[in-house]
Amino acid sequence: MNLSDEVKQLHALHLSGVLTDDEFAQAKARVLTGGSANSALDEALSRIQSENALTRLDLDWQVEREKYMTARKNGQRVVGSVEDEQGLMIFSTLAMGVLTVVAIVMGFLGTGWFALWFVVCFIAIAINLISESNRRIDTIRKYEIALRDYETKRAELVSKQTTSVDS
């Protein structure tokens, strides 16, 4: 490829947005001083590949994050917090405990099997609420691990991008 062709190729890449103004000026200077445009093209290709890898990682994370989200009553999708779930579990357990005590007192007051039925129902409901809260807490902890992994990978990619731009 002759000098004119290399400059035309660089100009086309610059016009298409592959090369920034600075990259185009550097590559053109390199070609005009007897160097090759290939290193500028390699740098541009490397930058584009890094940007694509970062974009792909971000898109993959959006899909992954969706697995950990739940819908609120208003339709908003959120990732809960361990503290909220633990608070809900404590409240539910206390409420079911109070209702169980009321049912036991009713049993002593002579309502018999009816009160026992309430005790069994309240205990079953409390167990269900606790196990559901534990399941959600487990999901939140898995989300936190996945988020840390994503942030680490993203920081590595950004660091590589910054290193390659600086060199």
Which parts of 12-111 are beta strand (E)? Answer: 70-71, 77-78
Burial of 19 (0-12, 13-18, 19+ CB in 10 A): buried
Q: Give me the chain's average pLDDT, please.
A: 81
Distance CA 40, CA 42 (A): 5
Q: For the segment 35-81, what is each residue's pLDDT rounded down to a tens digit? A: 655 666 677 777 777 888 899 999 999 999 999 988 888 888 888 88
The answer to whether the beta carbons of residues 85 and 137 sit under 8 Å apart is yes
Q: What is the mean pLDDT of residues 79-86?
A: 85
Question: Could you tell me the pLDDT band of residue 138, with boundaries at 50, 70 and 90?
Answer: very high
Distance of CA 73 to the CA centre of its chain: 22
Residue 167's pLDDT is: 55
| More confident site: 147 or 8 | 147
Question: Could you tell me the pLDDT band of residue 165, with boundaries at 50, 70 and 90?
Answer: low
Residue burial 48-70, b: 16+ Cβ < 10 Å; e: rest: eebeeebeeeeeebeeeeeebee
Distance CA 162, CA 115 (A): 70
Strand partners, 71: 77
Q: What is the mean pLDDT of residues 110-122?
A: 73
Residue 92's pLDDT is: 81
In the chain, the percentage of residues whose pLDDT exceeds 70 is 86
Distance CA 21, CA 130 (A): 61
Name the amino acid, one letter, at 41: L
pLDDT above 70 for 20: yes
Which range has highest mean pLDDT (8-12, 21-25, 51-55, 69-73)? 51-55
pLDDT above 60 for 1: no
Name the amino acid, one letter, at 154: R
Strand partners, 70: 78
